[in-house]
Structure 1
């Protein structure tokens, strides 16, 4: 996306005059009115070329928003700065840098953000039929940046959907985060297929929490974002896309300046609906979650404050996703289902690697040594019949104390295999993202002790046990780096970059002593 520094050059190259800006501002006082008689449809961008009416309207609106002063709530920078602000930003507005990450408001905050941004685009484009498209990176063959966002120009003028700050891999149309083990499915599809199995919306363990860690309202507005508290939807799907696109998208402080940001988050919002399609899944019902309020700006530049419950209801009837076959969603109460309860379960170490480890630009392989005392507890927990008053035990893999450099431009794929076994799709555990974990302003914490990336490996461990006649042999972890800037794995291996990690552990979480 064009930075504030390049705004003048954008206007000049686009042939925009002061008169045209003033004319546009005058016209913009009459808002386009969205049609709320029936829900609008958010469509998959994969079916759109550069001349699709949705993208024409989006491009027009983005270009118009760039022309507005940055202190105007309808301007591109103002809206982007509501998510995050770069270091050194001056004239900071009260509602800037307000995004929710690393807690259980991650999904609803961004839903409200998209809702009002969509209305702003309707007005700025003069197209009341506009609804945000989504980028279905979770679908096989759709993990490359959509072509209309890669072109430098559109009809001989600068393409407002292009962002020169992205990595070469993204802007050249390469499949993002290539993974030979994923085949044509793609790594992001594998991540989503695992994330959607997470049963609880919130939990004290981020590895078992779809929507993020529960946080008390009293901790706002200091925003208790933590590098360790990204829920599964955030860490296993959302964060990795940000890293893979890189550039503005790779930093929470600038992410919303890239026009693809909004399509990425529309897909995250869509996948939240997909998760709720499972009748055993439900959102949090705590008043602390539902009553929390957040500020936004509507299409007239008016400040509006909405609670999470209001945000959820705003979406009902306003829009649906094309795959939903125009069935209107409801927020009716569901029958109660079990999630992992917020009690103090027992957590015991089962296996670990030696401390003082480090990752670099070459594949990392390490054997995990089982604790002789606690290994039987794991086997007992895995073999125990389900109980009616407690959730089954969970097995967590944790890579602790990861200390990345400022811009690692890497994603790591993690696999768990038997000793001496090669990695395969079935041994894939997940990815390590550095989005929001290398510094990054208010609300995107930086922990001097590094961050922890955890994975729920219960199903993986059960599969290994079944394949070995009920036994659990020694295991080894593979952590394989991939560049986010288009560098080949062979060339990447020649680079000099060390990322210290404190420990790698396997832990058993259960509600009762085993």
Structure 2
């Protein structure tokens, strides 16, 4: 790839600001492409590799190690700032790559585990600067679309999720895109990727987060524009460095929502707008009109150990067992565990049990952000909160037997050879809404 050294010496990418921290769009807009369209010699791949090589030789604020520290100390997880914070870190790294290599149009490629399935060979080649030796053994040949966790239907519903379900909650509570699709890939790639304190050292971190950002861009186009709470858009994210190595001040979340004003776009948005199968109706019917319903809210506090359970109301279970296609089921819940080292290398398993059988309602490997000892962190602390949900897919389970139904969660130990005590459960809550409808 031919690098524009003159541009690099002259200052590379021009990224002016309009107002406090809102980046002005570059012309033309940089295009982030899927890894399937790129090879080891593609401009963006070559520039990324060259920048990683150069940054690993530095010991200043533009070093590769500093990007890892920034993510460890400053990144937002387990709350609604997860998406805007990571968008800004990725955007600032793109500007650093452009400056160091002279490739002014550099845009971070994205890796979509459902579409691309395998890691690109230009990150698994041991001679590539994008190779990371600290990854899970055998990951080079892993089919991610068929792997544990990555098959989950709970990643996101891009045409239906509301703000809190998709983006997360304040001050604690991750959204579906963070708790499932994001966490799945960190665990499956493994090694450095498993923990926030080291994950950004693997170049796959950046390709993965480019795709997470693409998922947000897809949801934003379908749902987000009118759903962002004003108090959320007024918040700020911080902790970044610019291409000159200077610390960047607090950036408003409201200036982070659109990609094109930030100077980039995607070659195509996420191809799976809904992760659930469309609900069938009577011939000629197109939608269901609500005619009534009822809602129940339940909460359980942990009684010690790592397992919690909520028993569903008998009345609700009886109605679901008698359901036809006019009943809409919406179960929205969350589970919380103590956010501590003992929760690392676990998988939170949420299941519904009835009649001696069970069905998964969510399976998520943990990604626990622990600050350095004695070091405070805005956005860290408090419980680790994972959402879960269910709908009509539980009807077959309920119809298979009589008796009570319950939702249970436990923290599976992914490193049982260590003989660790159980993770500490905190609480579990669920709102179950049954809506009577008619088809039209």
Q: Structure 2-normalised TM-score?
A: 0.72
1:312 Cα shift? 2.6
1:436 Cα shift? 1.5
The separation in 2 between residues aligned to 1:284 and 1:82, in whole angstroms, is 30
Which among 279, 282, 292 is matched to residue 235 of structure 2?
292
The separation in 1 between residues aligned to 2:297 and 2:350, in whole angstroms, is 22
What SS does the aligned partner of 1:104 have? coil
The 5 A counterparts of 1:296-445 are 296-305=240-249, 306-313=251-258, 315-316=260-261, 318-324=263-269, 347-348=297-298, 356=304, 358=306, 370=311, 374-376=313-315, 394-396=330-332, 399-401=335-337, 406=342, 408-411=344-347, 414-416=350-352, 418-421=354-357, 427-436=359-368, 442-443=377-378, 445=380
The separation in 2 between residues aligned to 1:165 and 1:355, in whole angstroms, is 38
| 1:406–1:413 Cα change, 3 Å | closer
What SS does the aligned partner of 1:130 have? coil
Task: Summarize deviations over 1:319-362 as a string: whole Å, max 9, x none.
Answer: 2212249xxxxxxxxxxxxxxxxxxx96225xx89955558xxx
The separation in 2 between residues aligned to 1:150 and 1:258, in whole angstroms, is 11
The separation in 1 between residues aligned to 2:369 and 2:258, in whole angstroms, is 32
1:190 Cα shift? 2.7
Q: Does 1:499 align with 2:422?
A: yes
Task: Summarize deviations over 1:51-71 as a string: whole Å, max 9, x none.
Answer: 33321111001111122223x
| 1:318–1:408 Cα change, 3 Å | closer
Match of 1:262 in 2: 206
- The answer (yes or no) to whether the contact 1:210–1:231 under 8 Å persists in 2 is yes
CA RMSD after TM alignment:
4.3
The separation in 2 between residues aligned to 1:444 and 1:169, in whole angstroms, is 35
- The answer (yes or no) to whether the contact 2:348–2:364 under 8 Å persists in 1 is yes
The separation in 1 between residues aligned to 2:427 and 2:355, in whole angstroms, is 16
Which among 388, 394, 397 is matched to residue 455 of structure 1?
388
What SS does the aligned partner of 2:362 have? strand
The 5 A counterparts of 1:111-190 are 111-139=87-115, 142=117, 144-154=118-128, 159=129, 161-170=130-139, 172-176=140-144, 184=146, 187-190=149-152
Match of 1:44 in 2: 34
Equivalent pairs counted in the alignment come to 390
The separation in 2 between residues aligned to 1:66 and 1:480, in whole angstroms, is 37
1:412 Cα shift? 5.2
Q: Does 1:68 align with 2:36?
A: no
| 1:444–1:239 Cα change, 3 Å | farther
- The answer (yes or no) to whether the contact 1:405–1:499 under 8 Å persists in 2 is no
The separation in 2 between residues aligned to 1:406 and 1:164, in whole angstroms, is 25
1:474 Cα shift? 3.6
What SS does the aligned partner of 2:197 have? coil
Match of 2:68 in 1: 80
The separation in 1 between residues aligned to 2:162 and 2:42, in whole angstroms, is 39
Higher mean Cα deviation, 429-438 or 25-34? 25-34
The separation in 2 between residues aligned to 1:267 and 1:231, in whole angstroms, is 16
- The answer (yes or no) to whether the contact 2:12–2:102 under 8 Å persists in 1 is yes
- The answer (yes or no) to whether the contact 1:399–1:452 under 8 Å persists in 2 is yes
- The answer (yes or no) to whether the contact 1:357–1:503 under 8 Å persists in 2 is no
Higher mean Cα deviation, 58-67 or 406-415? 406-415
What SS does the aligned partner of 2:237 have? strand
- The answer (yes or no) to whether the contact 1:290–1:307 under 8 Å persists in 2 is yes
Match of 1:244 in 2: 188
Match of 1:213 in 2: 169
Gaps of 5+ in 1: 1-24, 85-96, 177-182, 203-208, 216-225, 326-344, 360-365, 385-391, 484-491
| 1:83–1:290 Cα change, 3 Å | same
